[in-house]
Amino acid sequence: MEHRAELLAPAGNYDAFRGAVNAGADAVYLAGRRFGARAYADNFSDEELRQCLREAHLSGVRVHLTVNTLTRERELGELIPFLAPLCEDGLDGVIVQDIGVMKVLHEAFPDLPIHASTQLSVTTADAVRFLVRLGVTRVVPARELSLSEVRALREELPVETETFVHGAMCYCYSGKCLFSSFLGGRSGNRGRCAQTCRLPYRILDEKGIPAGPDAGKREYYPLSMRDMCILEYLPELIEAGIDSFKIEGRMKRPEYAAGVTALYRKYMDLYYRLRERGDASSWRVAPEDMEELKALYLRTDLCGGYYHRSNGREMVTISAPGYRGADEALIRRLGEQYVRPIRRTKVAELITLEAGKPAALRLRLGGENPPCALTGDVLAEGDLVQLAEKRPLSEEDIRRSLGKTGDTVFAAERIEIRRSGEVFLPVRSLNELRRTAFERLSGELEACWKRDGAARLAGRRRLLAADGAGKTVSPKRPQQESAGGASENLSVRLLAVVISRAQAEGARAGGADATADDSQSFLLSGTAELLAFPYVVRRRDAAWMDEALRRLLSGEYRGALIRSLEALEFLRFRGYHGPVFADTPVCGWNRAAMEVIGENADHCILPLELSGRELRESFPEGRHYAAVYGRVPMMITAGCVRKTEKSCRLEENGFWALEDRKKQTFPVRTVCTHCQNIIYNSVPLSLHKAFGAPLLSGCRGFVMSFTTEDGRETQRITRSFRRMADGEREVAVPFAAFTGGHFRKGVE
């Protein structure tokens, strides 16, 4: 049978679930009241989740549960009791961001398919290889990948790929955004994003002057992405072998989910039919259908996502961030057509009535695409059939009774009656026979669905094992569990991450034990102890990565500072055993995540969104580093502010800026080597007031990061933190504006 992509639709509540199922979704994704990254959707109670599972499976639809928030240590114990009954009911997969959650789930439910969320921003086969060891069977790559990059992931490792085809897009690589978190205390990693990117900003050039064609506008929206729509080049994605097409929209109206699903279902099926006839080139999207999509509560304009472009002004809304109103007449029609009806599975019925024998009703799945390949028919027997003494049972009575499927998901497609003479059976007996048969069919379908799911998963795991990527145990780093080992040769109490020679010299003069070269151009090779890897690694960075490895192996750098799973696995897979520092974007929120990272890195820098109390709960003293100074990277983006203002000159390490409505300025570093922007907070994070707190006093060391500071500022700041690291209290700092981050309160 030919490979066909799954159409995966969102369900933020029960109406949306029903609408998506009725509109032709192969699978739906939804969330419970906990662990889902859409905290403001209605979401489902535990009982509602089980009911949706049952209804979906009877209709031949899979259910994927989002468990895609970062999870605190104290919450981790709730995870298994929450998922256990759903797994028993045949849950088809979980979508996960937290690698600690992956570890716990794979150990508790080894047969449960785990899908790596787009919140992990997977970009290369290295990250996929890392995740497969944690039980991952499907990857949702970063939305910023091109179609060729997605195809390469699908071909390099035998995991399923799931990509977005329609809906809202983030300006930042998913999972790497701290904008809402640091400006409003609402974390996108907890499903509470305040959509700070949809607010107006002005782009300022390196001189602080409004830049480009938008310089004269009072306000505009350079971070507000257009909605994605790839319907018109759907065949390209089908031919790329992608396994699942995902529609975004758990926060949107049920009619939206149903309408978008119906149109993608229509054109996917049309392409498969035409391809089978050898006429795929005639596939077209009708203009009226594109207009219908645009009338379904979308942003002011659409774009094709990143499949065929890396970034550009055409991908953001610029002049208006909000949604335009939906066509209410269309919404009403879609509600009547999809949201309110029940999707029915067609069933053929054969009843045999012979006097002196039990009435027998045989059911067989009908239609072109039955929900499950049952091994045979379902048979139920009822009361004894009698010879008719007065009024024999009429065909009309039989058809009326057997055709009543009520609020079940079944519909009688055909009813065949076999009678031996004039017979009689009370109507209540007919009704009871029908109910028994359909209950038995429901049970058989549910059992069949679980068997088919287990068989699919077993086949996938065999492929992974054959490829060598499915090993569940990661090789230990040499001597990593002892106090010595590779990292003992690099004793660091105070680490300065710098981007220029002036900063490196200032940090050294101020008392830093080591510096990390974050220039992204090997500017400090041979003088800085650590080499900082980019926040996002793409296939186009292969030459840079190979050169970085060469310099590490040659001893030009004595260790690595990594910010992604791609870089972590790149070093492990290629046999690098020198010191590895895992930066804040990599380290998770719980001990299970830290254990996974600790198998591949010597040191972890604590995450930025937990409070000091939460950090103490999760991480043992004496093993970790704390980020105590520096502008926090609020966004890592494929979009480029220079290109948006038509000023892209491929200049390395330049700084532009964003200015918000309150005249706060956010530096933007354009890293042209890797074609990405880093948007920093308007003020630095500083934990100078927290020195002496139990967490900081129990850390192995401290990390400072320098961005816009010159050499003299770097020296003064480093000197202050050197004194604090050495035990002094009441140390004055040479800056006035700062934020304490989430150290005291954490995030929602």
Burial 719-736 (b: 16+ CB within 10 A, else e): bbbbbbbeeeeeeebeee
Q: Give the pairing of strands 160-167 and 514-517.
A: unpaired
The pLDDT of residue 298? 66
Sole residue written with tokens 């890293």: 671
The single-letter code of the amino acid at 235 is P
Burial 617-626 (b: 16+ CB within 10 A, else e): ebbeeeebbb
Instruction: Using alpha carbons, select from 576, 522, 566 the residue that is nearest to residue 540.
Output: 566
As a whole number, mean pLDDT of residues 17-26 equals 95
- Residue 612 has which token pair? 């000091």
The single-letter code of the amino acid at 81 is P
- Residue 253 has which token pair? 């109206």
Mean pLDDT lowest for which of 125-129, 445-449, 452-456?
452-456
Distance of CA 205 to the CA centre of its chain: 33
Q: 3-state class of 254 per DSSP?
A: helix
- Residue 559 has which token pair? 């260790």
The pLDDT of residue 462? 58
Give the model confidence (pLDDT) of 364-406 as tens digits. Answer: 887 665 666 565 688 999 999 999 888 888 889 899 999 988 7
User: Is-contact 266 285, C-beta < 8 A?
Assistant: no
Per-position DSSP letters for 256-300, written without gaps between them: HHHHHHHHHHHHHHHHHHHHHTT-GGG----HHHHHHHHTTT-BS
Contacts of 213 (CB under 8 A, 6+ apart): 645, 646
User: Is-contact 410 347, C-beta < 8 A?
Assistant: yes
Exposure of 259 in the CB half-sphere (CA atoms within 13 A): 28
As a whole number, mean pLDDT of residues 3-25 equals 94
User: Residue 352 belongs to what H/E stretch?
Assistant: strand 345-354
Using pLDDT thresholds of 50, 70 and 90, give the confidence band for residue 196.
very high
Beta partners for residue 561, in sequence order:
532, 581
User: Is-contact 639 615, C-beta < 8 A?
Assistant: no
As a whole number, mean pLDDT of residues 129-137 equals 95
Phi and psi for 620 in degrees, rounded to 5? -65, 150
Using pLDDT thresholds of 50, 70 and 90, give the confidence band for residue 472.
very low
Q: How many of the other CB atoms lie within 10 Å of CB of 413?
A: 15
As a whole number, mean pLDDT of residues 727-741 equals 93
pLDDT tops 60 at residue 470: no
Cβ-in-10-Å burial (0-12, 13-18, 19+) of 333 comes to middle
Phi and psi for 514 in degrees, rounded to 5? -155, 160
Query: Which of the pair, 333 or 390, is modelled with greater confidence?
Result: 333
pLDDT tops 50 at residue 491: yes
Instruction: Using alpha carbons, select from 547, 549, 545 the residue that is nearest to residue 534.
Output: 545
CA angle 353, 354, 356 (to 5 degrees): 125
Q: What percent of the chain has pLDDT over 70?
A: 91
Q: Give the pairing of strands 633-637 and 676-680.
A: antiparallel
Report CA-CA distances (Å) from 61 to 18, 337, 690. Answer: 11, 19, 52
Question: Whole-angstrom Cα distance, residue 178 to residue 495?
Answer: 23
Give the model confidence (pLDDT) of 640-697 as tens digits. Answer: 999 999 988 776 668 999 999 999 999 999 999 999 999 999 999 999 999 988 888 8
Question: Whole-angstrom Cα distance, residue 507 to residue 714?
Answer: 6
Give the model confidence (pLDDT) of 227-272 as tens digits. Answer: 999 999 999 999 999 999 999 988 889 999 999 999 999 999 999 9
Please state, rounded to an integer, the average pLDDT across all residues of the chain.
89
User: Is-contact 681 634, C-beta < 8 A?
Assistant: yes
Query: What count of residues does the chain have?
Result: 748
Highest mean pLDDT, choosing among 132-136, 183-187, 218-222, 455-459: 132-136
Q: How many of the other CB atoms lie within 10 Å of CB of 79?
A: 20
pLDDT tops 80 at residue 300: no
Question: Whole-angstrom Cα distance, residue 268 to residue 242?
Answer: 13
Question: Whole-angstrom Cα distance, residue 238 to residue 383?
Answer: 52
Q: How many of the other CB atoms lie within 10 Å of CB of 673?
A: 16
User: Is-contact 417 351, C-beta < 8 A?
Assistant: yes
